[in-house]
Amino acid sequence: MKKTIAVAMATFLFFACSSPKTDDKAVVTNDSAAAAPAKPQPAEFADSKYADIGRSGLANLSSGNIDAWMSAFADNAVYVWNNGDSLAGKAAIAAYWKNRRGQVIDSISFMNQIWLPIKVNQPQSVEQPGIWVLGWYQVKAKYKTGKYMGQSIHTDMHFDASDKIDRLIQYLDRVPINAASKK
């Protein structure tokens, strides 16, 4: 019996010691951590295509091509300003901006644009989960009154499952807009 155990141990040690060596720089992983799915971060970067949608939208607004700009919006979109005013529905948003560009604003340009597309996995307060693009830029507009308006604006856009803007929140100062609009 002792001979059998000795032979079994010798065989085990022979095969254990002669198994192919792995790279000494191999990464050791914790099997329990590898088996558990990683918990998503509260927010992460999203695809840059969302920044392109924001950038393209301002180019269309600047050129007066409201229909092209509105193609990025969902039918049930809501446009909200920081003062509490809002527009509900793609048709209402389009009508507002067609009037503004046709009757109120002579020209408008956007400079120094910064776009940050993010995916909110776990809302931190009242924001909706999903894809957002945050935009910061300077705007200069000439009004039909002959007056000019310039300011920095911040815009947040939320995208639905079809990659359409379903919520746009714009933070701006109404004082220079009102002053430039008055005859």
Whether residue 133 sits in one domain with residue 92: yes
109 and 25 together in one domain: no
The domain in which residue 19 lies consists of 2-35
**Do residues 57 and 12 share a domain?**
no
- Name the strands in the sheet holding 105-120, side by side, starting at the edge strand that comes first in the sequence: 43-45, 105-120, 130-143, 148-159, 165-171, 73-81, 86-88
Contact present, 133 and 53 (Cβ < 8 Å): yes
> What digits encode the pLDDT tens for the residues 89-135?
999 999 999 999 999 999 999 999 999 999 999 988 878 999 999 99
Distance, CA of 172 to CA of 79 (rounded, Å): 13
* pLDDT in the model for residue 127: 81
* Same domain, yes or no: 68 and 8: no
**Per-residue pLDDT at 124:** 85
The count of structural domains within the chain is 2
| 126 neighbors 154 (Cβ within 8 angstroms) | no
Do both 79 and 120 map to the same domain? Answer: yes
Pick 18 or 177 by higher pLDDT.
177
pTM: 0.77
According to the model, what pLDDT value does residue 8 have?
40
Tell me: do 124 and 63 sit in the same domain: yes
pLDDT at position 34, please? 59
Same domain, 31 and 121: no
